[in-house]
Amino acid sequence: MLIGSHVSFGKKQLLGSVQEAISYGANTFMFYTGAPQNTMRQKIDEELLKEAQDLMIKEGIDIKKVICHAPYIINLANNKDLEKWQFSQNFLKQELSRCDELNVSFLVLHPGSAVGLEKTEALNNISLALNNILSNNYKCQILLETMAGKGTECGSSLEEIKYIIDHVNYNIGVCIDTCHLNDAGYKMQNFKEFLAIVEKIIGIDKIKCVHLNDSKNVLASHKDRHANIGYGTIGFDNLLNICYEEKLKDVPKILETPYVGQTWEDKTKIYPPYKFEIEMLKNKKFNQNLLEDINNYYNK
């Protein structure tokens, strides 16, 4: 099973990401090349990269399964402000080049938000932008993430994802996010049935990454608030099922669950839950004392 979480990419760049992933007992990971909410990026350091690569080889982490996530302020769907639309495209080109430099094969992208445009127009903008960007022939492949349908988000149905795939002349893949799918109205409690729908519409082989998250909200709520594994409306057994699904066995599962504080209500979310969530999934056993275990571990 390929399992990891979202990790940071700071001063030590990819080396820091790899070290963080190892500290969680992960064998893969996902990172942003800088803060997810802005587009300030540092130049890639060759020496740190070499060290990161050596460490990955030593630890048996396959760089081909490592995922990068584009910042979520990028919006390819709306072209009302042409300058902003161009900026998003140029930034994505740089991001894909960075991934090529790092030897990372997949870049997860939120399709974008229509904000005031018709849905079809927005989907056409996304396709147009992707055709422009991908004409530069990158090794790294873009994965469209399935969205919760919050606000005017595009890509909250498999049909919308399929529409973009069909209108882009290059090979793009898909990242399914279990929290987003639940919030968009797809029952994760019957994953076999969901995969049958995927097969009919876009093909299971298009799925190159799974974001494994529980959800704080009910089916079709269109909210997008992630919950810790087994502490949301999808539930531990259903997430475990998805994790061990034979048809997705070579697809990395990435946790993007929230950090925790001293209590569940505590707003100062300082501790990463990933080491203990990964442990639960590996042991196939729900941990009722997740919060206490995390606090004990990081408090010492």
Nearer to Fe ion, 95 or 177 (CB): 177
Contact letters (x/-) for Fe ion, 40-79, by CB under 5 A? ----------------------------------------
20 binds, among Fe ion, Zn ion, none (CB under 5 to 8 A by kind): none
Alpha-carbon span 8 to 22, nearest angstrom: 13
Q: Which is nearer to Fe ion, 68 or 122 (CB)?
A: 68
Closest CA to 119 of 154, 148, 157: 154
Contacts for 300 with CB less than 8 Å, ≥ 6 apart: none
Residue among 177 and 214 whose Cβ is closer to Fe ion: 177
Least CB distance to Fe ion at residue 17 (A): 17
**Cβ-closest position to Zn ion:** 224
Comparing CB distances to Zn ion, the nearer of 95 and 224 is 224
Shortest distance in whole angstroms from residue 296 CB to Fe ion = 28
Least Cβ distance, residue 240 to Zn ion (angstroms): 20
Residue 183 contact among Zn ion, Fe ion, none, beta carbon within 5 to 8 Å by kind: none
Report the residue number, 98 or 110, with the smaller CB distance to Zn ion.
110
Q: Is 211 in the site for Fe ion (CB under 5 A)?
A: yes
C-alpha separations of 9 from 32, 33, 137 in Å? 6, 6, 25
For residue 180, the minimal CB distance to Zn ion (Å) is 6
CB of residue 37 vs Zn ion: minimum separation in angstroms?
13
Q: Which is nearer to Zn ion, 14 or 77 (CB)?
A: 77
Q: Which residues bind Zn ion (CB under 5 A)?
A: 224
Q: Tell me how far, at minimum, the Cβ of 5 lies from Zn ion, in Å.
A: 14
- Least Cβ distance, residue 71 to Fe ion (angstroms): 10
Instruction: Report the residue number, 149 or 173, with the smaller CB distance to Zn ion.
Output: 149
Residue 6 lies near Fe ion (rule: CB under 5 A): no
- Residue 177, interface with Fe ion (CB under 5 A)? yes
Touching Fe ion, residues 142-161 (CB under 5 A): 145
Of 20 and 224, which CB lies nearer to Zn ion in the complex structure? 224
224 binds, among Zn ion, Fe ion, none (CB under 5 to 8 A by kind): Zn ion
Distances (CA, A) of 14 to 5, 17, 31, 69, 229: 14, 5, 8, 13, 26
State the minimum distance, in angstroms, from the CB of residue 141 to Fe ion: 16
Cα–Cα distances in angstroms (integers) from residue 163 to residues 84, 86, 147, 288, in the given order: 23, 22, 14, 42
Rounded CA separation 22/3 (Å): 11
Task: Find which of Fe ion, Zn ion, none residue 211 binds, CB within 5 to 8 Å per kind.
Answer: Fe ion
Question: Cα separation of 89 and 126, whole Å?
Answer: 10
Kindly list the residues in this chain that would bind Fe ion in the complex (CB under 5 A).
145, 177, 211
